[in-house]
Chains A and B, each alone.
Chain A
Amino acid sequence: MLKVINLTKSYDSRQVLRGITFDAQAGQTVVIMGPSGCGKSTTIRCLNRLTEPDGGKILLNGISVLELNTEQLLKLREKIAFVFQNFNLIEHLTVEENVMLPLIKSDLVRQEIVTRAQQVLEQVQLAERKNDYPANLSGGQKQRVGIARALIIEPNLLLLDEPTASLDPILVKEVLDVIEDLTKTQDQRIVIIVTHQVAFALKVADLILLLDQGQIVEQGHPEEIFSQPQSQLGQKYKQLLDYYRS
Chain B
Amino acid sequence: MLLFKSDFIKDVVILLLVTIILGTLLSLVIGTISDYYFGDAVDSLIGDYENNDLLLIIDEREKEETVEKIKEVLQTKLPGAKLSTGINLAGKSNLFISVGKKYKRRAVFLNLEDYFNDIKGITTTSLMTEPRLTINGLKNKASQLLEDKIADLDHVAFTFPDGDSLEVIIDEAQFTAQVKEKINTLLNDYQMLGIRFPIKEEVDNLVQLGSKLEKVLKDDYGLAVKNITELNSSELGSLAKTMTEMKSFLSSYASTIKIKVFTGQKIEVGDKLIIPAEDKKKIDLRVSNVNDMIATAVITTGDSSAAVGDLVYNSDSTTAVGKVEINNPRQKLDYLVSELKKLVPQLGSIFNDADSILANLEELFATLQLLKGTTTEIETLNQKLAGYTANIEQLDGREIKANLDSLEHRLEQLVVIITRLEFMRDLILDLRVELTQLESRINAAQAELRVGSNYYNNLQQLAENIAQLKIKVVDNTQEIIDQINRYNPLLKEIKSWQKNVQDFNAVIDKLIKESPQEFAKRLTAVSNKDLITRLQQVRQPASEEKLAAVKEQLVKLRAIDFAGITAQLEYIEQSLPKLKDEEITASIDLLDHYLAGRAIPGAEISLLLPAQNVDLKVIKEEIKTMIPQQISFYDSPVGIIVPNLRNQIYQILSEVKIVLTVVTALLCTSLSLLFDHGLIITSLQELNTEKIFYSNPAFYYSLTMAVITLSSICYLTGIESPYLPWWSSILVGVGLGLIIFKEAAVINDFAKAEFKAGEAFGFNYAQIMRQIIIPAAKPGLLKILNQRQTYF
Contacts and interface: CB of A to CB of B under 8 A. Distances in A.
Interface of A: 48, 50, 70, 73-78, 80-82, 84, 86-93, 97, 100-102, 104-105, 153
A105 B757 CA distance: 14
The 7 closest A-B pairs by CB, nearest first: A77-B762, A88-B757, A82-B760, A102-B761, A88-B753, A78-B762, A104-B791
Interface string B751-762: 101101101111
B204 to A, nearest CB: 96
A93 B792 contact: yes
Given A74-B762, A90-B757, 11 more contacts: A48-B760, A50-B759, A50-B760, A77-B762, A84-B760, A87-B753, A89-B754, A91-B776, A101-B791, A102-B761, A153-B761
Contact of A88 (B754, B764, B767): B754
Instruction: Give the dominant DSSP class at B's interface.
Output: helix
Given A77-B762, A90-B754, A105 B772 contact: no
Contact of A74 (B751, B754, B764): B764
B763 A74 contact: yes
Nearest to B753: A88
A70 B756 CA distance: 15
Interface of B: 5, 751, 753-754, 756-757, 759-764, 767, 771-772, 775-776, 791-792
Given A70-B5, A84-B753, A92-B775, A105 B767 contact: yes
A134 to B, nearest CB: 10
Given A88-B756, A91-B751, A101 B762 contact: no
Nearest to B792: A97
B9 to A, nearest CB: 15
B792 A105 contact: no
Contacts of A76: 762
A101 B791 CA distance: 9
Contacts of B772: 90, 101
A74 B762 CA distance: 4
Contacts of A100: 791-792
Given A91-B776, A92-B775, A104-B771, A86 B753 contact: yes
B757 A84 contact: yes
Contacts of A89: 754, 757
A82 B759 CA distance: 10
Given A70-B764, A77-B761, A101-B761, A84 B776 contact: no
Nearest to B6: A70
B763 A105 contact: yes
Given A70-B5, A84-B753, A105-B767, A77 B760 contact: yes
B636 to A, nearest CB: 71
A2 B703 CA distance: 45
A92 B773 CA distance: 10
Contacts of B762: 73-78, 80, 102, 105
Contacts of A80: 760, 762
19 contacts: A48-B760, A50-B760, A77-B760, A80-B762, A84-B756, A88-B753, A88-B754, A88-B757, A89-B757, A90-B751, A90-B754, A90-B776, A91-B751, A91-B754, A93-B792, A101-B791, A102-B762, A105-B763, A153-B761
Contacts of A92: 775-776
A107 B361 CA distance: 155
